[in-house]
Amino acid sequence: MPVPNALRNIAPTVWELPVGYKPGMLVPARIFATEKLLHAMDAGVFEQVSNVACLPGIINHAYCMPDGHWGYGFPIGGLAAMDPEAGVISPGGIGFDINCGMRLVLTNLTCDEVQPRLHHLVDQLFYRVPAGVGGHGFVRLSHDEFCRVVEQGSRWCLKNGYAWPEDLEMTEEGGCFPGADASKVSAKAVDRGYNQIGTLGSGNHYLEIQVARRENVFDEETARAFGITAPDQVVIMFHCGSRGFGHQVATDYLQTFLGVMEKKYGIQVNDRELACAPFRSREGQDYFAAMKCAVNMAFANRQVILHRIREVFADVFHRDPRDLGMNMVYDVAHNTAKLERHLVQGKMREVLVHRKGATRAFGPGMEGIPDCYRETGQPVIIGGSMETGSYLLAGMASGDQAFYTTAHGSGRTMSRHQAKKLFKGQKLQRDMEARGIYVQTVSYGGLAEEAGAAYKDIDDVVEATELAGLSRRIVKLTPVGNVKG
């Protein structure tokens, strides 16, 4: 893909579009990528990241991570920090699947111990964790109780027997964004979400049994601190979010913002998908409170899924989940806006950080991560395709250049439609099993959309984050079993 002529290479893995690239830009647009990844990005990335650079109150730069590709409003892999007093909040900078995120769980099992029971494990996970569009969870809630869930997040799960106390410590923000207010959420959103707690969803959501092979460990000391202590240790990673609930919250407030953005607040944007409102406005604060509800719903969703995973492993191995060492490494969110304190032009200040398909990656010693990770930096979980593997990384002190943010996954290289034309789900399933990856899927069409060739090379993306100083590699995790939404 031809890159804009105005793009400047300011460091080996840092590229910048200057303020003069597009009328209205308030800050430069910065892209983290190797030259190979940069030329693989679609033209929409450059268009969208430069549009983000025009938003009122933006600080330092508009950013795009190495996995960046075209999205809604912001590019996927987009990052922008706003001045809370003068800046805006934009659903297009957060996404429709609010708090789509990753959770990584340990076991003390080895691949040799799991392999004879792998098919049974995957089949049982497929049965116990509903997947696909419209899947309903086993947790039966009234609308009123669901509203309590979205205000409390993982805390509700702990009170109701779906969590261990230490799970909350190993979840970003303790599994609950404070300030969630269910009264700011529409009845339609509640109706779409109240029966979806404990469900995987569709698209690129998955639940995967993975192996940490000795040859794929990059930093043994940090790997041990994260709980990876044995050769060929089996772990479980899953990726999902706030389902139809978060989608409806985003949809509702996009319409609200389109109605007031220009008429009431005089804000003009280059793309209607960047509809926004002043953060301190009534509409901005209402959305912020509703968004937090969707964030908390996603935390609760992943927590209940973990509960089901522990049940399955306990049943299959006839052992208590604690005896199986099924502790969390971490749960980290994508697709959020958060008030955080960062160093800006030499002063610590509060900023509103939009992360769209991007992962928080706090460095060593920072507040807001578990005490046991203070020396290593925050665990960072970056999911690859179901064919290639995923990564556990750690935040770095040098991540301050991008508000301690890194990539969130491989990033697509082709549309879902194109992937379905090129690949056949049944053949892909057979080929993967021949290579040692057993897959259960709701839809062969959906499986074809997620073929490894539809994504960037995860090794390239992770290498770029490390070269850029955003996060560093600890261990690569290779898939052996997969439940696909």
Instruction: Tell whether the model's pLDDT for residue 456 goes beyond 90.
Output: no
On whether residue 371 sits in a domain, the answer given is: no
- Kindly report the number of other CB atoms within 10 A of residue 359's CB atom: 31
On whether residue 348 sits in a domain, the answer given is: yes
Please name the amino acid found at residue 214.
R
- Take residue 122 and report the two structure tokens written for it: 């995957």
Instruction: Tell whether the model's pLDDT for residue 455 goes beyond 90.
Output: no
Mean pLDDT on 147-161: 98
Q: How far apart, in whole angstroms, are the C-alpha atoms of residue 38 and residue 15? A: 9
pLDDT digit string, tens, across residues 99-134: 999 999 999 999 999 999 999 999 999 999 988 666
Q: What is the pLDDT, as a whole number, of residue 133?
A: 67
pLDDT digit string, tens, across residues 33-48: 999 999 999 999 999 9
Kind and range of the H or E run holding 425: helix 425-434
- Take residue 156 and report the two structure tokens written for it: 């509700």
Mean pLDDT on 249-266: 98
Longest C-alpha distance within the chain, in Å?
A: 64
On whether residue 44 sits in a domain, the answer given is: yes
- Kindly report the number of other CB atoms within 10 A of residue 67's CB atom: 32
Nearest 5°: the CA angle 348, 80, 5 is 120
Q: How far apart, in whole angstroms, are the C-alpha atoms of residue 429 and residue 447? A: 8
Instruction: Tell whether the model's pLDDT for residue 200 goes beyond 80.
Output: yes
156-170, 190-204, 294-308: lowest mean pLDDT where?
190-204
Kind and range of the H or E run holding 484: strand 471-484
Total number of domains in the chain = 1
On whether residue 47 sits in a domain, the answer given is: yes
3-7, 39-43, 386-390, 398-402: lowest mean pLDDT where?
386-390
Q: How far apart, in whole angstroms, are the C-alpha atoms of residue 75 and residue 281? A: 25
- Kindly report the number of other CB atoms within 10 A of residue 292's CB atom: 29
pLDDT digit string, tens, across residues 47-86: 999 999 999 999 999 999 999 999 999 999 999 999 999 9
Kind and range of the H or E run holding 243: helix 243-260
Q: What is the pLDDT, as a whole number, of residue 424?
A: 84
- Kindly report the number of other CB atoms within 10 A of residue 348's CB atom: 8
Please name the amino acid found at residue 329.
V
Question: For residue 415, what pLDDT band results from cuts at 50, 70 and 90?
Answer: confident
Question: Which residue, 267, 333, 266, is CA-closest to 102?
Answer: 333
Mean pLDDT on 142-157: 98
Mean pLDDT on 211-232: 97
Range of the domain at 35: 8-84+339-358
pLDDT digit string, tens, across residues 457-484: 899 999 999 999 999 999 999 999 999 8
Sign of the CA dihedral with 166 first, then 171, 175, and 178 last? positive
On whether residue 74 sits in a domain, the answer given is: yes
* Average pLDDT of every residue of the chain: 95
Q: Please compute Rg for the chain using Cα positions.
A: 21
Catalytic residue set? 408
Instruction: Tell whether the model's pLDDT for residue 135 goes beyond 70.
Output: no
Q: How far apart, in whole angstroms, are the C-alpha atoms of residue 167 and residue 149? A: 16
Question: For residue 441, what pLDDT band results from cuts at 50, 70 and 90?
Answer: confident
On whether residue 350 sits in a domain, the answer given is: yes
Question: Which residue, 90, 100, 78, is CA-closest to 254?
Answer: 90
Mean pLDDT on 452-460: 83
pLDDT digit string, tens, across residues 323-357: 999 999 999 999 999 999 999 999 999 999 999 99
Instruction: Tell whether the model's pLDDT for residue 273 goes beyond 80.
Output: yes
Q: What is the pLDDT, as a whole number, of residue 138?
A: 85
188-197, 238-247, 405-414, 469-478: lowest mean pLDDT where?
405-414
Question: Which residue, 295, 260, 300, 301, is CA-closest to 278?
Answer: 260
Q: What is the pLDDT, as a whole number, of residue 402?
A: 98
Q: What is the pLDDT, as a whole number, of residue 131?
A: 81
On whether residue 161 sits in a domain, the answer given is: no
Mean pLDDT on 372-401: 95
Q: What is the pLDDT, as a whole number, of residue 416?
A: 78
Question: What percent of the chain clears pLDDT 70, i.e. is strictly above it?
Answer: 99
Q: What is the pLDDT, as a whole number, of residue 215?
A: 96
DSSP letter at 383?
B
Q: How far apart, in whole angstroms, are the C-alpha atoms of residue 383 and residue 205? A: 10
CB under 8 Å to 390, separation ≥6 — which residues? 208, 210, 237, 381, 382, 383, 384, 458, 476, 477, 479
- Kindly report the number of other CB atoms within 10 A of residue 336's CB atom: 26
CB under 8 Å to 114, separation ≥6 — which residues? 121, 209, 234, 480
Mean pLDDT on 7-16: 96
On whether residue 290 sits in a domain, the answer given is: no
